[in-house]
Structure 1
Amino acid sequence: MAPTRIGLVGLSPNAISAYASTAHLPYLTHSPHYTITALCNSTIPSARAAIAAYALPESTAAYDSVAELSKDPNVDLVVVSVKVGLHAALVAPALDAGKAVLCEWPLGVNAGEAAQLAALAKQKGVKTYVGAQARFSPPVAALRQLLASGAIGKVLSTDVTATFGPAIDIWMKSADFYLDLKSGGNPLAIRFAHFVDAFCNTLGEFAAYDSVLKTNGKSVKVYDIAMGEMGAVAREPESKPYEIMTRTSPDEILLHGTLVGGAVAGLHFRTGEREVDGSSFRWTITGTGGIVQV
C-alpha cells in the first residue's frame, strides 16, 4: 500500500520544542506508512524555511493557506498542529475541500465549535481524527490488559491524584492562552482532559459526576519574553517589564462520581509541590481481588 501523503500545518522553523516538531515530525519522517508532501505556515517563506530546517525533500510543497494546500492532489491527510484557538479556522477549509483531517486535541475552543466541525465532516463524508494519544501510551495499554485479564477482579473504586506543579505567578505573553478558561488551551482542556480520555477508555465513561473548578492564583505577571528567559525573570521579577493578567483557567480540578460499571471514581489535579514521596501523579484502582497503582 502506498504511504499516506501528509500536508502538515504548523511546523514552525523556529519553535523547535513545539509538538509538530517534537512529536509529529519524528514519527511521520520515520514511518514507512506516511510521507510529508506539503507544509502550510502563516507565510510561504516560513513554510520553505521549515522545509529546509528539518531537511524535508525539496519536492515538499509550501503553502500559506490551508484552502490552497487542500487543493493539492498530492495531499491525502491534513494534520493540524497549531494553537487551539486557530484549530477551527484551519480545520474547516480542509474538511470543506473533502480532505481527511487529523487535528490535535482539543478540536475546538469549546464544545460548540467542535460540534460545528464534526457536523461539517459528516456532511462532507470525510475521515477525521483527534489526537487523544494518552490512551495509547504503554502504561495505559498495559493497565487495560491487566484489568481485562481479571487480575484484580471487578473494579470497585479508583482514585487519581496529580499536580500541575507550583503556582504560576509569572508567565509568557506568547502562551497567555494557558491562563484563559475560554481559550481551549489551558490545563483543564489539555492536561486534565487528555488524562480523562485515557481514564474513560480504560475504565469506562462516567454514569454520574460532580465537579469543582477553582482558580487560586488569579494574579499573574505576564512578560513578553522567550521561554529561555523565564528562569532569569523568576529570580528577578522586576528585571523586565510586565503586565498583570487575571487568570481564569482553573488550577484546582476535582471530578468525582460513579462509572458505568458501578465503580466510584475520584480525580483531583491540584497546584502545588509533589507528594512527600516525590511523585506528581498516582492512579489507584481497587478491585474485588486486588489493587493496582500507576
Structure 2
Amino acid sequence: MAPVRVGIVGLSIKPGAWATLAHLPRLAKSPNYQIVAVCNSSIESSKAAIKELKLPESTRAYDTYDDLAADKDVDLYVVSTRADTHYNVAMPALKAGRNVFVEWPLAANTEQAKEMAAIAKEKNLRTIIGLQGRMSPSVKKVKQLVESGALGEIHSVNFQGAIHVWQNNAASDRYHYFMDRKIGGNLLTIYGGHILDSVLYAVGELKPGSYTPLAVNLRRKMHLMKSDGSLTEELYDKDTPDQILLQGQLERHPSAVLSFHLRAGDRFIGSPGSIWRIYGTKGELAVEFASAGPQMAKATSFRFSNSEKGEIEEFVTDEGGEEWTDLPTQAQNIGRLYEAYATGEPYADFDLAVKRHELLDEFWATLK
C-alpha cells in the first residue's frame, strides 16, 4: 500500500506547538504516511519548519490554504490550528475534494461544523475528527470490559475530572482564549467534548430525553497572567463555563445512569486529574488518569473491585510496545488515530463531530 501523502497546516517550530508534539512524531515514523507539504503563515515559516524538523527536502512549502488544497499530491489535508480558524483552513480543502483531518472541535460553532460535514458528504470524502480518546488502549479496555459482561449488568457510570487551570483567578498565556466563547475552544468544547466522547464510546450513547446538562460560569472576570508570571491588575470578562455537569441515563439495557462533572481550578493535592467509575452487578471498575480526560495518556490506575471474589484485581492495558510508548504522550493516541485511518479501522469522522457539537449546544443553552 502506498503511503498516505499528508499536507499539514500548523506544523510550527514554536515551543509547545501542538502539531509538532502530537502529529509529527508518528507521521514521521509510520510507513503508512509521508509528509509532502507544509503550510504556515509565511513561506519562510514553512521552510523553517521543513528544515528544523528534518523533513525531506522535497517537502513543499506553502503560505495559503488554497495553494495547499490545490496540491494534487496531497491525499490527506491536516488542520492543526486554533478552533476559530478550523472552518477557514479546512474549507478550501473540502471544496477541492481533499480528504481532511481536523482537530477537535471541528469548528467554532455547530453551524460551521454542519456545513463542513455536508460538503464532505456531498463530495464523498473521508474525514477524521481529532477525538483521539477513543483510540486510547485504556478507553478501549474499558469498552471491552463493559461489552464482554465482565462487570455484569452496568448500573451506573460516574466521571469526575478537574483541569488544572485558572488558579488565583487568573488565565495563563496558554489558556487566555478559553475565556472567549466565540473562539470555540474552551473548557466545555475541548475538554468536555473529548471526555464525553471517550465515555460515551466506551459505555454507550445517552438515552434521548433522559439527561440534564448544566454549564455554569462562576468566574465571570479573571486576571491574565503575564509572561513573567505576575498578574494583571485589570479583570477581564469570561463568558465560558468553569463547571460542567450532566446527569441522565444511557441507551443500553438496563438503562444505566450517568453522572458527569468537569471543573476548572486547583486539583486536590496529590490526586489524579480524573476518576472514572463504572458499577456493575459483578463489581466496580475504577480508572484514574493524570489528566482531566482520558484522551491524553494511559490510565495511571486500572482496578476492579470483584464482588464475586471479594478482591481487587489490577488490570494492565497493552500499549503496543515501544513504538508507541517511546512517542511523546501527546502523540500516542493521535498516532493511533492516524493508523486507524490508514488501515481501515473504526475512527470518528465529521458526522460524529456534528453529533458531539449538538450535544455541547445543549450545555450552552443552560449557561448561567
TM-score (norm 1): 0.91
Counterparts in 2 of 1:175 and 1:19: CA distance versus 1, 3 Å = same
Q: Does the Cα contact within 8 Å between 2:5 and 2:73 map onto a contact in 1?
A: yes
Give, in whole Å, the separation in 1 of the partners of 2:175 and 2:25.
24
Give, in whole Å, the separation in 1 of the partners of 2:247 and 2:139.
20
Q: Which residue of 2 aligns with 1:216?
A: 218
Counterparts in 2 of 1:156 and 1:277: CA distance versus 1, 3 Å = farther
Q: Which residue of 2 aligns with 1:201?
A: 201
Q: More deviation in 84-93 or 69-78? A: 69-78
Q: 2:237 aligns with which of 246, 252, 262?
A: 246
Asked whether 1:285 is paired with 2:284, we answer no
SS in 2 for 1:206: coil
Asked whether 1:268 is paired with 2:268, we answer no
SS in 1 for 2:102: strand
Note the C-alpha offset of 1:213. 0.9
Give, in whole Å, the separation in 2 of the partners of 1:98 and 1:178.
32
Give, in whole Å, the separation in 2 of the partners of 1:273 and 1:223.
16
Give, in whole Å, the separation in 2 of the partners of 1:224 and 1:126.
43
Note the C-alpha offset of 1:280. 2.5
SS in 1 for 2:245: strand
Q: Which residue of 2 aligns with 1:128?
A: 127
Q: Which residue of 1 aligns with 2:338?
A: none
Counterparts in 2 of 1:72 and 1:272: CA distance versus 1, 3 Å = closer
Q: Does the Cα contact within 8 Å between 1:36 and 1:60 map onto a contact in 2?
A: yes
Q: Does the Cα contact within 8 Å between 2:133 and 2:197 map onto a contact in 1?
A: yes
Q: In the TM superposition, what are the counterparts of 1:176-187 in structure 2 within 5 Å?
A: 176-187=176-187
Note the C-alpha offset of 1:176. 2.6
Q: Which residue of 2 aligns with 1:165?
A: 164
Q: Which residue of 2 aligns with 1:256?
A: 247
TM-score (norm 2): 0.73
Give, in whole Å, the separation in 2 of the partners of 1:93 and 1:20.
20
Note the C-alpha offset of 1:72. 1.2
Relative contact order, CA 8 A, sep 6+: which one is greater?
A: 2
Q: Which residue of 2 aligns with 1:190?
A: 190
Counterparts in 2 of 1:198 and 1:189: CA distance versus 1, 3 Å = same
CA displacement, residues 22-67 of structure 1 (integer Å, 9 cap, x when unaligned): 0100010010000000000111111111111111111100001111
Letter in 1 for 2:100: V
Q: Which residue of 1 aligns with 2:358?
A: none
Counterparts in 2 of 1:133 and 1:31: CA distance versus 1, 3 Å = same
More strand by share: 1
Note the C-alpha offset of 1:199. 0.6
Q: Which residue of 2 aligns with 1:65?
A: 64
Note the C-alpha offset of 1:205. 0.9
Q: Does the Cα contact within 8 Å between 1:167 and 1:217 map onto a contact in 2?
A: no
CA displacement, residues 190-245 of structure 1 (integer Å, 9 cap, x when unaligned): 011101001110111111211111112222123564xxx3xx32xxx3xxx66532
5+ residue gaps, structure 2: 288-368
Q: Which residue of 1 aligns with 2:10?
A: 10
Q: In the TM superposition, what are the counterparts of 1:231-242 in structure 2 within 5 Å?
A: 232-233=229-230, 237=231
SS in 2 for 1:205: coil
Note the C-alpha offset of 1:181. 2.4
Q: Does the Cα contact within 8 Å between 1:40 and 1:63 map onto a contact in 2?
A: yes
Note the C-alpha offset of 1:175. 4.5
Q: Does the Cα contact within 8 Å between 1:212 and 1:255 map onto a contact in 2?
A: yes
Note the C-alpha offset of 1:108. 0.6
Give, in whole Å, the separation in 1 of the partners of 2:226 and 2:101.
31
Aligned pair count reads: 282
Note the C-alpha offset of 1:248. 1.1
Asked whether 1:55 is paired with 2:57, we answer no
Output the aligned Cα RMSD: 1.7
